[in-house]
Amino acid sequence: MKTVNIYTDGGCSNNQNEINFGGWGAILEFKGVTKELCGSQSNTTNNRMEMMALIEGLKALKETEIIVNIYSDSSYLIECFKKRWYDKWLLNGWKTSTKSPVENKDLWIILLDLINKFSDINFNRIKGHLDIKKESELKKWYVKYQEYNGPIEYSRYLEIVNFNNRADALANIGIEKEKSLEK
């Protein structure tokens, strides 16, 4: 079965402020060939941009009978799927355990619809913004990556870090684009 890796990141300059600039980036990788996607939005949140990166990455896939490995530094995104928070949200009428409305419901609905189309999907959390030149930091997070996601070769881990850093750069391109539209 074909395997596609999707590396995502999102960000928001002035997150939590009334006027802000968001950007997202996604990289699709299949057999060493990559496709980069990025976009932007004003007056959004960091979490929404993290979600948009994954939405757009999944939308770009042309087949569904494939293995999809998702790599993101967003705990919000990865934890939802690994721990299946959405099962309780659906049972509770899109309410959290504290009975408040689920934030970003509109995007969660889109994501759940997309995720359910694929035969095999895996979620992996990566520490964001790692400096590839800082070996001791990389090795520390490599151990934590394996504790959370399972064993992986160190060389593959370094590839994931590089792709994650590039997805972050794409998100920043989106942010800068959005800022320039505001002027």
The answer to the question of residue 78 being in a domain is: no
Number of domains the chain is built from: 1
The answer to the question of residue 53 being in a domain is: yes
Least confident of 17-21, 57-61, 118-122, 127-131: 17-21
Task: State the pTM of this model.
Answer: 0.95
Span 162-168, mean pLDDT? Answer: 97
* φ/ψ (deg, to 5) at 125: -95, 135
The domain of 56 spans: 3-73+104-175
Cα separation of 74 and 46, whole Å?
Answer: 9
Q: Do 96 and 89 form a contact (C-beta atoms < 8 A)? A: yes
The answer to the question of residue 169 being in a domain is: yes
The answer to the question of residue 160 being in a domain is: yes
Cα separation of 166 and 29, whole Å?
Answer: 12
CATH of the domain at 24: 3.30.420.10
The pLDDT of residue 16 is above 90:
no
The answer to the question of residue 127 being in a domain is: yes
The pLDDT of residue 182 is above 80:
no
The answer to the question of residue 84 being in a domain is: no
